[in-house]
Structure 1
Amino acid sequence: MPGPAGATIDGGGSHLAVVATLVRAGVLRPGPPHRSVPQLRALMNWGATIAGGFRAAAARTPNAEAVIDERVVLTYKQLTARATRLANGLQERGVAPGDKVALLCRNHAGMVACFIACAELGVDAVLLNTGLSAGQMAQVITEQQPKAVIADSEFDAVLADCPDGTLRINAWPEDGAAIALSLDEVIKAAPATQRKPPAKPGRIIVLTSGTTGAPKGARRPNPPGIGAAASILSRIPLHAGERILVPAPMFHSWGLAALQMAMPLRATLIMQRRFDPEATLKAIQSKRPTAMFAVPVMVQRILDLGEDVIKKYDTSTLRVVALSGSAIPAAAVTKFLDTFGPVLYNFYGSTEVSWASIADPKDLRQAPTTAGRPPLGSKIVIRDVATGQPVPTGTVGRIFVWNDMLFEGYTNGAGKETADGYMATGDRGYVDPHGLLFVSGRDDDMIVSGGENVFPREVEELIAAQPGVRECAVVGVPDAEWGQRFAAYVALLPGATMTAEEVKALVKAGLARFSVPRDVHFVDELPRNATGKVVNRLLAD
């Protein structure tokens, strides 16, 4: 295993630890031979792909609920049967192994079937972001050149410039849909002939968030084996048979992670097409999920409902609320733990490096802004910005990660910087004496003000913790005297008041003078993309 000469924080990764984790989670569990043998055969033939994982789950627990959305409930047997017919139907319509199929769908059972079908057929599934504009969509389609586009009917207008000859399939039909051919029609017309594994497994291509530029396609590797699941399970105590509510979009790496974890756990995915905070609480009460995969802004919106609304709903079944995708304010972390108990887990990673670290409730109670510790099979090293050498504990530097699931490069041929086998995350941070990782901000978030390196996150945390502040974003702007200064964008709760001078005085009292924002703007809300990340380049608008 590669590694630098200096110190790292290491999540371990012995074979014994992997097996123990999988046994504890119920992934490895003795079963009747008529179920266990076909389960193992599926994994041997298809590998740890999405097709292999769902086929193995269907062999072991065919009648268990696999996916629930607002229209259907499908067992593992029903889901995999539909996926096989879909793969056959796509092939009949000219989609061949090695091609690409683009998916533009909200969370629903049809999208899960598409994932499995693409894996069975050996095509690359390109996950399109539901928040892209028509222009961005045209750019991505031109770059990726999919043979087919499977999309919900609400996105017909965004796909208006789809090239002639591209197979279009409607994944979620609604009244007045322009695309006549539906996913159900393809499945019903196709034979149920069982498929053989493709010569070359297909890949999943995830688009980067595009918060700092045009989104890029990143090729995600197939897991090297079932042990890959042990990494997340070593830090997030999910068990076999979980009921997982998924409001995080599945075109995003974290929503996709819920799908990938469901396979070895033989879990039930409860899909949420559109996020609404109170509707989420209603779903928790009625569907009784034991876990939820969400992005941070979602739990912030739930907390915004207020204690009186939250207490109307029984959320006692939730053991795990797992977050990823962006930083969550410390005040929100503490409030969520106080409101819902020790169920919060914060996952730090990226499309490119997969997982880097995970903070559990104990870590978050101790240090609400921490990104936690590396899971099994992952290592982190902090490197000096100038020399690239590992830095001492407590020193801010560039974050590099090693694990078995580093991405295989962007579809445009570019890659991420690596050093000694470790890949750069694009973030800066430090490790404290307790072995906890803290992320200071993106490389391009840091500003140099009066010769001092300053990151916006601590300013955002300070402002966001004030009563009456709903959310806050801080970005660097040019300054004639200091080179750069911060500008703060503050959204207040209804009825709250605050002045720009009060914000500046607050920061001046709590942080160094270089952190005091030159400008303070009050906005109704922060501009966010479909995964909840603040799009800094839109703040000035």
Structure 2
Amino acid sequence: MDALFVGGTMLRRGLLHPGNPVRIVRQFAALGRWGFGLAGELRQAAARSPHRIAVIDDQRSLSYAQLLDRAERLARSLPVVPGERVGLLCRNSARMIEALIGVTTLGADPVLMNTGLSANQLATVAKDQGLRALIFDDEFAPKVALVDGVEKISEGTALAESHRDSRPPERPGRTIVLTSGTTGVPKGARRPTPGGFRPLCSVIDRIPLRAEQRVMIAAPLFHTWGFAGLQIALALRATIVLRRKFDPAAVLDDLVRHECTGMIAVPVMIQQLMELPAPAVKPALSVVAVSGSALPGGLATRFMDRYGDVLYNLYGSTEASWASIATPQDLRINPRTAGRPPYGTKVAVLDDAGTPVPPGEVGRLFVGNEMLFEGYTNGAGRTMHDGLLATGDLGHVDADGRVYVDGREDDMIVSGGENVYPAEVEGLLADLPQVREVAVIGVPDDEYGQRLAAYLVLRDGETLDPEAVREHVRHHRARFSVPRDVVFLDELPRNATGKVVARELPR
């Protein structure tokens, strides 16, 4: 069954199209030698399509052969040995990809550093992760100067001279992705290396990205979803379009100018695209795949009304990889759904005793697939149940098998003895036409134990009364869901991946 699924998906997505026989042999030989990690995926693409443009960034474009050459030269210039860890503090660029693949080529472990880390956080993470070296963009030099005990490799560092192809290391490099750190210092999560074609096919079966497509990866490459987009793009021998910083107008221009038909983003990015006037020339997008946080309000419907039914929403996490994928058809039925589990993935909704709950009832979400993380670098793990990983989220599954995320387990509050889910109220307020974005959290309350606080950013020129906000919730939800506090802000505090940083909301 797996072979039929994999073969059929690869055929539909253009991965089995005929080509030069010698190059095809070299392509599969590269995968055989190097495996299905980034180092192997780049080499298979360079073997099959050496002259195809691999990446276009703000400064240059490189073919697959050129990208591989630079990654190998960087690998030979690094002062590290297999098994050591190398931090990467880089914007979305060809250099970031070169560094990622150069480090894994050596058998060292790249640690993807969030570009939004403060200097103190950066120093703490470098120490916690035991970094041997740190590759960074020059703009981060002031932060990096405060990090001690690591080799510092700036943009001006010379690459080694070219020579024959490198040999695979005895121990493949393992990528370490940092958790979002919205509630404290981020942890390092060890990502597994795919063992074959099935993980790729599980995603592209549901999200129809195709071989040799031009794909804008707007999501940060240090983010789990941006990193996954890079893995998919290399496997598809796609042309990857990158921009160092997300600017909605510039990205829209890039999509048209570079003839992108695919886009990998986080929800706040498409929200910002929708705040621009409808473009005179629309990009010819066939797939816009988002992940990383919930789609607020009616954003999915508004986006598809403007750009067509091209939006796909992947629900997953750094630890779980993916759990479910919503197609445009799913989102048209209910824009709040996280879709259905893809091939080879199981989602279960369990109560506190580990018993499955009926459809429609809220419980703890657990997921199982072959790409679950291998644990945190500090030795900690996540709760497991019968081979399924706890996502840390609460949710339910409807009668048609669609998954819905109702909030984080640690976000749920008990107000006057009643369970209250902030995400439910957040979604309700996001539907108000005056509201641009909203966050709802639990706060201590002397009378009820806990109550909700709502933080709203209004659209330009709009006004809204706090009592009107409460009345809207009172009309649609039970009294214990009505926010005690309604606070209006100019913007929500977000990290570099677009997630709201709850600890920075005023209390």
Letter matched to residue 421 of structure 1: G
The 5 A counterparts of 1:136-151 are 136-151=121-136
Q: Paired residue for 1:6?
A: none
Q: What's the secondary structure of 2:494's corresponding residue? A: coil
Q: Paired residue for 1:242?
A: 213
Q: What's the secondary structure of 1:507's corresponding residue? A: helix
- The higher relative CO (CA closer than 8 Å, separation ≥ 6) is in 1
* Cα distance between partner residues in 1 of 2:74 and 2:17: 31
1:68 to 56, 66, 69: 56
2:317 to 350, 367, 384: 350
* Cα distance between partner residues in 2 of 1:515 and 1:259: 41
- The answer to whether the Cα contact below 8 Å between 2:407 and 2:424 also exists between their aligned partners in 1 is no
Runs of 4+ in 1 over 4 A off after TM superposition: none
Q: CA deviation at 1:330?
A: 3.0
2:298 to 295, 311, 331: 331
Q: Indicate yes or no: 2:403 matched with 1:437.
A: yes
Q: CA deviation at 1:14?
A: 2.9
1:116 to 101, 104, 125: 101
The TM-score, its normalising length taken from structure 1, stands at 0.92
Letter matched to residue 334 of structure 2: A
The 5 A counterparts of 1:104-183 are 104-164=89-149, 166-171=150-155, 182-183=156-157
Q: Paired residue for 1:207?
A: 178
* Cα distance between partner residues in 1 of 2:230 and 2:289: 13
Q: What's the secondary structure of 2:143's corresponding residue? A: coil
Residue deviations 1:296-349 (CA, integer Å, cap 9, x gap) = 0011111112xxx2223322x110111001011131111111111100000100
Q: CA deviation at 1:522?
A: 0.5
The 5 A counterparts of 1:7-46 are 14-46=2-34
Q: Paired residue for 1:403?
A: 369
Letter matched to residue 311 of structure 1: P
Deviates more, 1:25-34 or 1:326-335: 25-34
Q: Paired residue for 1:301?
A: 272
* Cα distance between partner residues in 1 of 2:182 and 2:167: 40
Q: CA deviation at 1:48?
A: 0.6
Q: Paired residue for 2:282?
A: 314
Q: Paired residue for 1:363?
A: 330
Residue deviations 1:29-79 (CA, integer Å, cap 9, x gap) = 332211111001101111111111110010001110100001111000110
Q: CA deviation at 1:506?
A: 0.8
Q: CA deviation at 1:269?
A: 0.5
Deviates more, 1:341-350 or 1:152-161: 152-161
The TM-score, its normalising length taken from structure 2, stands at 0.98
Q: CA deviation at 1:85?
A: 1.0
* Cα distance between partner residues in 2 of 1:132 and 1:311: 34
Q: Indicate yes or no: 2:192 matched with 1:221.
A: yes
Q: Indicate yes or no: 2:251 matched with 1:283.
A: no
Letter matched to residue 374 of structure 1: P
* Cα distance between partner residues in 2 of 1:141 and 1:229: 31
Deviates more, 1:29-38 or 1:268-277: 29-38
Q: CA deviation at 1:290?
A: 0.7
Q: Which runs of 5+ in 2 are unaligned?
A: none
Q: Which runs of 5+ in 1 are unaligned?
A: 1-12, 172-181
Q: CA deviation at 1:493?
A: 1.1
Q: Indicate yes or no: 2:180 matched with 1:195.
A: no
* Cα distance between partner residues in 2 of 1:56 and 1:364: 35
Q: What's the secondary structure of 1:321's corresponding residue? A: strand
* Cα distance between partner residues in 2 of 1:201 and 1:311: 45
Q: Paired residue for 2:480?
A: 514
* Cα distance between partner residues in 2 of 1:29 and 1:378: 27
Residue deviations 1:63-107 (CA, integer Å, cap 9, x gap) = 1010000111100011001111111111xxx31111111100000
Letter matched to residue 130 of structure 2: Q
1:491 to 438, 443, 457: 457
* Cα distance between partner residues in 1 of 2:69 and 2:368: 37
Q: Paired residue for 1:501?
A: 467
Letter matched to residue 170 of structure 1: S
Q: What's the secondary structure of 2:371's corresponding residue? A: coil
- The answer to whether the Cα contact below 8 Å between 1:54 and 1:80 also exists between their aligned partners in 2 is yes
Q: Paired residue for 1:230?
A: 201
* Cα distance between partner residues in 1 of 2:175 and 2:205: 24
- The answer to whether the Cα contact below 8 Å between 1:88 and 1:191 also exists between their aligned partners in 2 is no
Q: Indicate yes or no: 2:36 matched with 1:51.
A: no
